[in-house]
Amino acid sequence: MANAARSDASPREGAAESAVANAFRLNTNLPVYISGGKLATHGQVIRVLDLVRREGIQKVSFAITPGKD
């Protein structure tokens, strides 16, 4: 279910999309865990979620690490 490369995708995003598509082809029951560092923006995390969903992966979770107070 891989999509053609988008014209607005960065080379790094295109490589990530290919890696996700290939992994999903090998295992259609592939779980995906998304986590972002403390400097990751909401938009960056959502872009990754969109990329994963475009490939047809439905088992997506967010890996959360509690912050230090």
Domain limits of the chain?
Answer: 11-62
The answer to pTM > 0.95 is no
Give residue-wise pLDDT tens across range 19-48. 888 888 888 788 889 988 889 899 999 998
The residue among 61, 57, 55 whose CA lies nearest residue 6 is 55
Q: Look at residues 67, 53, 55, 41 and name the one whose alpha carbon lies nearest to residue 1.
A: 55
pLDDT for 9 equals 59
Q: What is the model's pLDDT at position 6?
A: 47
Question: Can you give the pLDDT at residue 8?
Answer: 57
Decide if 39 contacts 11 (C-beta within 8 A): no
